[in-house]
Amino acid sequence: MAKGAAKMPQDYYETLGVGRDATAKDIKQAYRRLARQHHPDVSRDDQGAEERFKAIQEAYGVLGDETKRQQYDRFGHGFEQLGAAGAGGFRRDGQEIRIDDLGGLFGGLFGGGGGIFGGERGRPGADAEVQVKVTLDEVLHGTVRDVSTLVEDACARCRGRGCSGCGGRGKTPRPVQLLGVRIPAGVQDDDVLRVRGKGGAGAGGAAGDLLLRVSVAEHPFFTRRGDDLEAEVPLSLAEAALGAEIQVPTLQGLRPLRVPPGTAGGQRFRVRGFGLPNRKTGTHGHLMVRAKVIVPLDLTPVEREAILAAAARGGDPRAGLWQPPQEG
């Protein structure tokens, strides 16, 4: 062909390798075979594969539609000027399908796309993940966060297949900032909160999601056990021996706790409802208080005598413990 000569329109039957008397089934089978063979994802090293694939799509877009095929058989390529095609592409099911859209007519042959093989059109975007650290107070009440991260979009130039512009990765980074993302009360370590559609952009498919992975910071006083909290509270020797009403810290402030006489070190008490909320039920766990008896070190002679007298009345605290068997 001489330089500058107009390109002759393709014969759609020759493009698909079928005769003019081919059935609709013959045409579909030919299209599937050729599309698999020449799809750019399969023939990445063949620079002409994309153009051939477009031609195959274009041919099937006409011959695969009975009305368009009849008009093509009657008028040839002139049927396009009779309104059989929309601006910039063909129409199918009332929607414009651009012939230069590799996710269009062929679509789902390789797992994405809305073509004859089903599935969603194009390639969906990738999910992105970012860690969000919260305190126990924020777990109790819930909070909001401003989130900044990088997501990876499918490369617009190569539609995710890999090119020199994206270093062959098929992806390009993009900064994302979300303001006021709600973190619900009751979240736990490694919970994942999903923000729909805020991940990477797809190649003709839906955007991915942004995944917020929760990390709960350690507290200097409370230890978390599911929805319950645990804390160790010191008691004086007198409070443990005689009993007392003390004030114990909770995330909601000080609360009274009645300690009975004769409380031993390590004994546990429950402060009901002062734990953390459960995301599913909405109920609160409890605060479990563990007593730690503080024994004074610097005793006066009078205090020493009083303790010895009390101990004498109590007898041997180790009486009845297990004894090893006698030898012989």
- Write the CATH number for 156: 2.60.260.20
Please report whether residue 321 resides in a domain. no
Mean pLDDT, 10 residues at a time, the chain of 328 residues: 52 89 89 79 68 84 84 71 41 34 40 41 81 95 92 79 76 88 93 91 84 94 96 94 95 95 95 94 94 91 88 81 77
What pLDDT sits at residue 169?
78
Please report whether residue 288 resides in a domain. yes
What pLDDT sits at residue 166?
76
Say if residue 19 is in the same domain as residue 106.
yes
Say if residue 23 is in the same domain as residue 104.
yes
Say if residue 106 is in the same domain as residue 143.
no
Q: Where residue 83 sits, what CATH number does that domain have?
A: 1.10.287.110
> How many structural domains does the chain have?
3
Say if residue 171 is in the same domain as residue 137.
yes
Say if residue 143 is in the same domain as residue 74.
no
> What is the DSSP code string of 13-40?
HHHHT--TT--HHHHHHHHHHHHHHH-T
φ, ψ dihedrals at 72, nearest 5°: -65, -45
Say if residue 203 is in the same domain as residue 276.
no
Pairing state of beta strands 143-154 and 128-134?
unpaired
Please report whether residue 6 resides in a domain. no
Buried b (16+ CB within 10 A) or exposed e, 295-308: eeeeeeeeeeeeee
What pLDDT sits at residue 8?
55
Place of tokens 């200097």: 220
Please report whether residue 205 resides in a domain. yes
Please report whether residue 327 resides in a domain. no
Query: What is the distance between the alpha carbons of residues 284 and 280, in angstroms, rounded to a whole number?
Result: 11
What pLDDT sits at residue 247?
95
What pLDDT sits at residue 175?
92
Say if residue 88 is in the same domain as residue 147.
no
Task: Quote the Cα angle for 5-7-13, to 5°.
Answer: 150
What pLDDT sits at residue 321?
84
Say if residue 162 is in the same domain as residue 197.
yes
Please report whether residue 62 resides in a domain. yes
Q: Domain limits at 157?
A: 128-216
